[in-house]
């Protein structure tokens, strides 16, 4: 696999949730590898690291507005992007609750917020925008190793785990419905990374992690079907 673009076509990645953290770092990594990037931000009023990246990108970074929990935002975004050919659509979204609360004690509002943000909203985005992606492109979402039922040997983070397991199931159904196409469908388990969500005790930095994640995504381009992969490209058990 080549890590940079060498042909005449400049591929385009749409990264949902690229204002900061992992999403912003992924946008920067794709840009460094010769891609054009469309990144979405939730807050139109605030300047973000993605805006700084766009200022330095000579027109190769476009910023769009999307709150993934607002379904009414999707049709206007689709209309604005209808003239663009997307080679990759990746949904980077995630939230969590009090991590040590056992599931039976989780407030209903917290459960609903995590499930909508981590499972339902990413699928709404993918279903709404998938027709913009090349038939041989890639559609992906940020899952987690904690979405693996097989690997759950420690409990904790129960709503978060459940939301990512739900995302995995929904993406599996989506991939089955897409089986006649030649697209890759990827669930990414990035590992425990020092982000606002991952916290300061995580063992991996954004800087060391994101190039590995992008390597894995690029390695799956042109490989039809669903994969649930970690940062090394190894299959995560469902």
| pLDDT tens per residue across span 14-64 | 999 999 989 999 999 999 999 999 999 998 888 999 999 999 999 999 999
How many whole angstroms separate alpha carbon 150 and alpha carbon 46? 41
For the ranges 17-31, 59-73, 189-203, which has the lowest average pLDDT?
189-203
Predicted local confidence at residue 44, as pLDDT: 83
pTM of the full structure: 0.92
Predicted local confidence at residue 81, as pLDDT: 98
Locus of tokens 């079907």: 225
Predicted local confidence at residue 205, as pLDDT: 81
For the ranges 2-11, 35-44, 139-148, 209-218, which has the lowest average pLDDT?
2-11
Locus of tokens 């159904």: 173
Predicted local confidence at residue 58, as pLDDT: 94
For the ranges 64-73, 117-126, 144-153, which has the lowest average pLDDT?
144-153
End-to-end CA distance of the chain: 26
Q: What is the mean pLDDT of residues 95-114?
A: 89
**Residue 1 pLDDT more than 50?**
no
**Residue 155 pLDDT more than 60?**
yes
Number of neighbours of residue 95 by Cβ within 10 angstroms: 17
How many whole angstroms separate alpha carbon 182 and alpha carbon 224? 5
Instruction: Between 199 and 121, name the one with better pLDDT.
Output: 121
Predicted local confidence at residue 236, as pLDDT: 97
How many whole angstroms separate alpha carbon 42 and alpha carbon 17? 7
């Amino acid at each position: 696999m080549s890590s940079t673009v060498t042909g005449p076509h400049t591929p385009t990645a749409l990264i949902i949730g690229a204002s900061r953290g992992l999403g912003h770092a992924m946008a920067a990594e794709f840009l460094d590898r010769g891609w054009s990037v469309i990144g979405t931000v939730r807050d139109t009023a605030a300047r973000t690291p993605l805006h700084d990246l766009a200022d330095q990108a000579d027109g190769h970074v476009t910023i769009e507005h999307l709150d993934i929990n607002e379904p009414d935002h999707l049709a206007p975004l689709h209309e604005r992007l209808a003239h663009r050919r997307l080679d990759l659509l990746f949904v980077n979204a995630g939230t969590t609750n009090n991590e040590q609360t056992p599931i039976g004690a989780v407030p209903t509002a917290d459960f609903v917020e995590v499930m909508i943000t981590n499972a339902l909203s990413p699928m709404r985005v993918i279903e709404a925008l998938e027709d913009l992606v090349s038939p041989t492109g890639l559609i992906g979402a940020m899952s987690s190793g904690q979405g693996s039922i097989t690997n759950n040997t420690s409990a904790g983070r129960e709503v978060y785990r459940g939301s990512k397991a739900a995302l995995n199931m929904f993406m599996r159904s989506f991939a089955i419905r897409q089986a006649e196409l030649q697209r890759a469908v990827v669930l990414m388990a990035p590992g425990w990374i020092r982000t606002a969500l991952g916290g300061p005790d995580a063992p991996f930095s954004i800087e060391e992690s994101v190039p590995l994640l992008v390597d894995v995504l690029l390695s799956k381009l042109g490989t039809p079907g669903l994969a649930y992969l970690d940062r090394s490209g190894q299959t995560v058990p469902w």
